[in-house]
C-alpha cells in the first residue's frame, strides 16, 4: 500500500500522545517521502516532533458548548484545511467520536483505526486488530503500522529538540538560587483520577528520605496539582527541606517540564502524563499503579522503569473514584524508596 499524504489523528491526552510516537517512527520509516500531518489539541501539540518526522501539526481546539457557533465556524475552517491537503490516508489513533469527526472531515478515502475504537468511531475508520489487540496502547498503534507494511524492529520515541527549554528551565531555577551541580530527583504527584493519586503523606515521607540522603527533590506538574503539592511541602520538616525541596508545580511549560525530566536522575510518580515523558526520554523511573493496568498503559520501551502495583486484589479496576482508596495506600514509601535505590543503582551500571 502506497500513500503520499497521511493524516495522523491523536488529539489528546498527554500520555496518549506520547504513546503514539513509536507509531510515528514506524510510519515515517515505511513512508520516508510522504507528507505526514498530525492533528492534535493545542495543549499537546508542542511535544509532537517536527521534520523529518512530522511535516505539519494542525491544532484543533476543543469545541465549546458555550460558544456553539464559534465551534461550528472552527469545524468549517478545519474541513477546508483538511480538504486542501488532499489526504489519501487518515489514521485515527484516538478511537473516539471527536477523532472520528476529524477523520470524516479529512476527505480521505482510506481511513484506519486501532483495535480499540469507541463512540462509533469504527463506523468511520476501519478497525485494525493485530496481534496486540488486547495489549499495550503502544503496540496497538504499532499494529496499524505493521498492517501498512512497516517493520518494527524496536520501540523508538521521536522527540522534539529540548535544548532551548533546558536553558529556560535552568534559568528559572537559577533565579531562585536553586540550581547547583548536584543531581536531582523529580516527583510528579498529580493525576487526573483521584484513584491514581499516591498519598501526599507518602510522597512527603519519600521526599524526606531522599533529602536526608543529600538529594534535591523537585516537585513538578500542572497548576491543577498545586493542592497535593502544598500538602507534600507542608508535611516535610523545614530543617530537612532546607532549600533542597523545590516546588516547581505550575511553573513550567510542557516543553520545560520535559526538559526538567530529561535531566533528572530519577522520576517518581503514579500513572500520569509526565510519567510517559520520562519513559520516552529513557529516564530511570519508579511508578506506582493501583486502579490502572501497567500492561496496557504503563511506561513502555524503557528498560530502566520499575513499576510497583498494589498487592490488593482490586488492583486494575479502572475506577476513577473509590470509597476506600486502599490500593495505592498499600504501596508504602519504604517500598518505593527501596525500588528507587535499585533504579538509581541500575542506572549507574
Give the chain's residues under pLDDT 50.
Answer: none
Compute the distance between CA of residue 69 and CA of residue 184 in angstroms, rounded to an integer: 48
At the fourth CATH level, which superfamily is domain 164-347?
Answer: Glycogen Phosphorylase B; (3.40.50.2000)
**Residue 142, pLDDT score:** 98
DSSP secondary-structure letter at 225? Answer: G
Q: What is the pLDDT of residue 349?
A: 72
pLDDT of residue 74: 86
The Cα–Cα gap between 253 and 168 comes to 10
In this prediction, residue 84 carries a pLDDT of 97
Q: How far is CA 5 from CA 38, 40, 89, 124, 306, in A?
A: 11, 17, 7, 19, 39
- Determine the pLDDT at residue 62: 80
Domain boundaries, the chain: 5-147, 164-347
Q: What is d(CA 34, CA 287) in angstroms, rounded to the nearest whole number?
A: 37
Please, are residues 8 and 93 in contact by the beta-carbon 8 Å criterion?
yes
| Domain topology for 5-147 | Rossmann fold (3.40.50)
* pLDDT of amino acid 285: 98
Cβ 89 vs Cβ 108: under 8 Å:
yes
Amino acid at each position: 500500500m502506497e500513500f503520499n499524504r497521511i493524516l495522523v489523528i491523536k488529539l489528546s491526552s498527554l500520555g496518549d500522545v506520547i504513546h503514539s510516537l513509536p507509531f510515528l517512527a514506524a510510519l515515517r520509516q515505511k513512508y520516508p517521502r510522504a507528507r505526514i500531518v498530525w492533528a492534535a489539541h493545542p495543549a499537546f501539540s508542542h511535544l509532537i516532533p517536527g521534520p523529518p518526522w512530522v511535516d505539519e501539526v494542525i491544532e484543533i481546539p476543543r469545541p465549546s458548548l458555550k460558544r456553539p457557533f464559534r465551534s461550528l465556524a472552527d469545524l468549517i475552517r478545519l474541513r477546508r484545511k483538511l480538504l486542501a491537503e488532499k489526504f489519501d490516508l487518515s489514521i485515527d489513533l484516538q478511537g473516539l467520536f471527536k477523532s472520528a469527526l476529524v477523520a470524516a472531515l479529512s476527505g480521505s478515502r482510506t481511513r484506519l483505526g486501532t483495535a480499540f475504537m469507541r463512540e462509533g468511531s469504527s463506523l468511520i475508520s476501519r478497525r485494525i486488530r493485530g496481534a496486540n489487540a488486547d495489549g499495550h496502547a503502544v503496540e496497538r498503534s504499532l499494529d496499524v503500522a505493521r498492517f501498512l507494511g512497516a517493520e518494527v524492529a524496536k520501540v523508538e520515541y521521536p522527540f522534539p529538540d529540548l535544548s532551548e527549554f533546558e536553558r529556560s528551565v535552568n534559568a528559572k531555577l537559577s533565579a531562585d538560587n536553586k540550581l547547583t551541580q548536584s543531581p536531582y530527583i523529580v516527583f510528579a504527584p498529580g493525576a487526573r483520577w483521584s484513584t491514581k493519586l499516591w498519598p501526599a503523606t507518602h510522597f512527603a515521607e519519600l521526599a524526606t528520605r531522599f533529602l536526608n540522603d543529600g538529594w534535591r527533590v523537585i516537585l513538578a506538574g500542572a497548576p491543577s496539582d498545586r493542592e497535593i503539592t502544598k500538602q507534600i511541602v507542608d508535611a516535610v520538616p523545614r530543617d530537612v527541606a532546607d532549600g533542597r525541596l523545590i516546588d516547581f508545580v505550575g511553573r513550567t511549560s510542557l516543553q520545560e517540564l520535559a526538559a526538567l525530566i530529561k535531566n533528572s536522575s530519577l522520576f517518581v510518580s503514579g500513572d500520569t502524563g509526565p510519567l510517559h515523558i520520562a519513559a520516552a526520554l529513557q529516564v530511570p523511573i519508579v511508578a506506582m499503579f493501583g486502579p490502572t493496568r501497567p500492561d496496557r498503559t504503563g511506561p513502555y520501551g524503557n528498560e530502566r522503569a520499575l513499576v510497583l502495583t498494589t498487592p490488593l486484589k482490586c488492583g486494575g479496576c479502572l475506577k476513577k473514584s473509590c470509597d476506600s482508596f486502599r490500593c495505592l495506600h498499600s504501596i508504602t514509601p519504604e517500598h518505593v524508596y527501596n525500588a528507587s535505590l535499585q533504579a538509581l543503582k541500575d542506572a549507574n551500571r
